[in-house]
Structure 1
């Protein structure tokens, strides 16, 4: 019987692997090779098989397969100021109550909209390689009541490493819960439901501290039977699963698609947490960003088809100064509010800006920019 590790060996990792499904001209292929040299391609066969190759606008294809638009270098690699929040390699502390551990630069799939393109699958300089020091930092900062283990993808870690993190962190009295940031339930759920050892580890330590999996389903086509099976396996052992989607041009930037996604998530007990404004990341910005004003309209229309649980998410951006909720529009203004803040003076701050139909982000002074 094949294990999930056997299945993972069937990854699609080179542009040449696309020859059978894409009729590329030499010029097109050369462009994709250039893209993949800078930001590699890696697609589990499971996810690859979800693509409808007869549709050049297939959303799964856009999420997984490099495109020539990624040659556009506009944008920035660190759009939320992660470098300024780094306390040691692999540990960030931006918000008082939350410590973030970058546990790996590896993912089972390299998403084309990734906001950590600067490091994921590419550079290990920002990765935590001394767990003991990270745990010591968290232990000594009593205001930290939760830890987010992310990457890369935290479920790309070995079971031994996941257990080591949980063994150490669940011993810290002032931690209330531990979160794992992962796209594995989306791109390779077999890693969850075929791995009794992983489920046993999560169940064991989940009896000491609450464990929450934060995933990222962005399109209804990702909610396959296998994905539902992976979610059920987590929920059956008492793990909470929440979802952070990203509003992405050509993927979910219409109300019907977004409401279908969120309704389907709540139906299986995965509560929407955020819908994020896509960050203006280098080689991502022009490809995937939706204007904020348009995003507000999409969110507002989608909410008409959602129940109370489905409406519980916040439409927000991860800005260098904090998580800023995008409230809506009124009298020619866009209304924003700080949901989390790096600086005390921004705590719970409300502000408004004149509507700019093309603006997609806020600058350092909180002015709308295109």
Structure 2
């Protein structure tokens, strides 16, 4: 009997496999071979099936297939200061209420816009290892009221490992809920649909403490029947599913596309959580980033097409200093920003303005 692990072994991971399935020039083949030594490629067969192979601008292709522009040396590997927030190997504590756990360096599909490409598929040096130390840390910091189990992808861990995390953390009375960060419902829904044991584990522990699954739909083409089935399985357990979207050039940088995505998410009962400004990551910045002025217009136009329930996703920059809302222009033509969360808690709620150039894509200096 096929398991999800065996299915993932069939992922497209080499350029020769890709070239047999997708038209590529000889130059593209040679350059991709070099590129994936630094930024690995792994595409689930399910996700690859969503690509329109005749369209070189297909958004699914752009999010999964390497491009030569990833060699661009402009950008950073750690854009949010994760290294400085690390308190134990694999555990970060940037915001006082939340402990973030990097539970894996593996994903069902390696997104080309990944902000942790320094880690995912490559290095295990930042991945959580000693679970007892992590639970002891949380106990020693009563201000922590939730944990976010992320990665990589938290649901690519074994069922044994997932249950170990949940068993440890649901017993901590200080935690109000547990978050699981996973793009599995988008890129590999079979992981949820076909694994009754995983379903039993999630159902069991959600009865003890509320679980939220934070997933990552970026384009309406990702909203397939199988993806919806995976989401509904989680929802039937009373797990809350929320979504984080990254605003990206060539993917969802048209108001009508973003509006359709938000509407369909709310139709599925998924709560839009954030619309993130794409981070200035090495090899990502020049390919996917949208200027802030343009991004604000796109997001505000998309929000104008939503009902009240669909207007909840803040356009946000995950900056080294905190999560910053990008609100819009004031009468003076300056962009208005607000700290929604901050490394320095005194900044939470603080509003500031900045005159932006038309091509400015990030706040380098605050």
Give your verdict on TM over 0.5.
Answer: yes
Using the TM superposition, give the Cα deviation of residue 16 of structure 1 relative to its aligned residue in structure 2, in angstroms.
0.7
Using the TM superposition, give the Cα deviation of residue 8 of structure 1 relative to its aligned residue in structure 2, in angstroms.
2.4
- The equivalences for 1:170-209 within 5 A come to 170-209=170-209
Deviations 1:303-354 (A, max 9, x none): 1211111111110011010000001112210000000011134221110001
**1:335 corresponds to:** 336
What secondary structure sits across from 1:251 in the alignment?
A: coil
What secondary structure sits across from 2:337 in the alignment?
A: strand
- RMSD of aligned residue pairs (Cα, Å): 1.0
Structure 2: 5+ residue runs without aligned partners?
Answer: none
**1:220 corresponds to:** 220
Using the TM superposition, give the Cα deviation of residue 7 of structure 1 relative to its aligned residue in structure 2, in angstroms.
2.6
Counterparts of 1:268 and 1:121, CA distance in 2: 31
Counterparts of 1:17 and 1:309, CA distance in 2: 43
**1:258 corresponds to:** 258
Counterparts of 1:104 and 1:232, CA distance in 2: 25
Matched, 1:115 2:115: yes
**1:357 corresponds to:** 358
Deviations 1:147-173 (A, max 9, x none): 000000000000000000000000101
**1:149 corresponds to:** 149
- The equivalences for 1:125-144 within 5 A come to 125-144=125-144
Checking the alignment, whether the CA contact within 8 Å between 2:19 and 2:29 is kept in structure 1 is no
Counterparts of 1:55 and 1:150, CA distance in 2: 33
TM-score by length of 2: 0.98
Using the TM superposition, give the Cα deviation of residue 5 of structure 1 relative to its aligned residue in structure 2, in angstroms.
3.2
Counterparts of 2:306 and 2:68, CA distance in 1: 36
What secondary structure sits across from 1:208 in the alignment?
A: coil
- 4+ long deviations beyond 4 Å: none
Counterparts of 1:26 and 1:65, CA distance in 2: 16
Counterparts of 1:291 and 1:31, CA distance in 2: 28
- The equivalences for 1:261-340 within 5 A come to 261-330=261-330, 331-340=332-341
Q: Provide the aligned length of Structure 1 versus Structure 2.
A: 365
What secondary structure sits across from 2:99 in the alignment?
A: strand
Deviations 1:267-321 (A, max 9, x none): 0100100000000000100010000000001011111211111111110011010
Using the TM superposition, give the Cα deviation of residue 33 of structure 1 relative to its aligned residue in structure 2, in angstroms.
1.2
TM-score by length of 1: 0.97
Q: Mean Cα displacement is larger for which, 28-37 or 137-146?
A: 28-37
